[in-house]
Structure 1
Amino acid sequence: MTGLVACVGGIVFDRRGRLLVVRRANDPDAGAWSVPGGRVEAGEDLAAAVVREVAEETGLTVVAGPEAGRVLVPAHAPVYEVVDLVCTPTDPDAHPVAGDDATDAAFVDRATLGSLRCTPGLVATLDGWGLLPRC
């Protein structure tokens, strides 16, 4: 498929098993909650991109881990190909602060995640990958 834009997402859990999410400031899906992420810049590998994106959107430092899966996000044109990586925070007790491209950031438990207006397919995708919050 041509016209794909390479993107990453960071799946990050705190010490309590809560999932890191951000409220998107920009389209697609401005105002919806999702995992932090964004476009891969020229010359970046996926690990570097996700570390940068998580830091920019939440102020947290993470270590990139294995690929959880891939999703295609249609936004009319272009289509975003998002590779989600499971990441480990360097300080599992740190608190996120919304930054670039996010209006809010938080660690949420399973019940809270279910009550948020999330990006289309986020909860079902994480559930299918076995990566919903543990609590």
Structure 2
Amino acid sequence: MSHAAEPGTPELPVISCVGAVVLDDRGRLLLVRRGHEPGRGLWSVPGGRVEPGESAAAAVEREVREETGLAVRAGAEVGRVHIPGPGVVYDVADLACTLLDPAATPVAGDDADAVTFADAADLERLTCTPRLLETLRGWGVLPS
């Protein structure tokens, strides 16, 4: 699979990725602060690359567990974005996920250096990855 960024430019390899849209029982969105590039220090939904032979559902469940310590069940895709990277394009499928233990406390791990559940007011204060809030708002999945 490949993606041409602009007419006349070479096609770039596409890397399949996932993002988790997880709301707790209070309607707050699960966010991680990225500990590595791209986006180091910015808040985003948990996620990452789909490993070879792995389904999007398995990948998003693994990524949430690695980055937050929380167990989730993957649901339907809520949207998809293409994010340009250095010499690649990330094809990110964002899936709605359900917490398996709503009482569990998230703990930052793997690529995350912090984790939180954010309500609408928190989202206005946090510095998020480019276009995250606009995209999630457009998909109708942001806390109100």
TM-score normalised by the chain length of structure 1: 0.96
Q: 1:101 aligns with which of 111, 116, 119?
A: 111
Q: 1:120 aligns with which of 130, 133, 137?
A: 130
Residues 30-66 of structure 1 show CA distances to partners (whole Å, capped at 9, x for unaligned) of 1100000000001100000000000000000000000
Q: 1:38 aligns with which of 48, 60, 67?
A: 48
Q: 2:85 aligns with which of 65, 75, 78?
A: 75
Q: Does 1:86 align with 2:120?
A: no
**Which residue in 2 is equivalent to 1:19?**
29
- Quote the offset at 1:78 in angstroms: 1.5
2:57 maps to a residue whose letter is A
Q: 2:61 aligns with which of 47, 51, 55?
A: 51
For the Cα contact (< 8 Å) 1:15–1:92, is it kept in 2?
Answer: yes
1:61 maps to a residue whose letter is A
- Quote the offset at 1:76 in angstroms: 2.7
**Which structure 1 segments of 5+ residues have no match?**
none
**Which structure 2 segments of 5+ residues have no match?**
4-11
Distance 1:105 1:46 in 2: 22
Distance 1:93 1:15 in 2: 9
Alignment root-mean-square deviation, CA: 0.8
For the Cα contact (< 8 Å) 1:36–1:57, is it kept in 2?
Answer: yes
Structure 1 stretches of 4+ moved >3 Å? none
- Quote the offset at 1:114 in angstroms: 1.4
Distance 2:111 2:143 in 1: 23
- SS of aligned partner of 1:57: helix
Larger radius of gyration: 2
Greater RCO, 1 or 2 (C-alpha within 8 Å, sep 6+): 1
For the Cα contact (< 8 Å) 1:13–1:88, is it kept in 2?
Answer: yes
For the Cα contact (< 8 Å) 1:17–1:109, is it kept in 2?
Answer: yes
Residues 61-108 of structure 1 show CA distances to partners (whole Å, capped at 9, x for unaligned) of 000000000011112321111000000000112111000000000101
Q: What is the aligned length? A: 134
TM-score normalised by the chain length of structure 2: 0.91
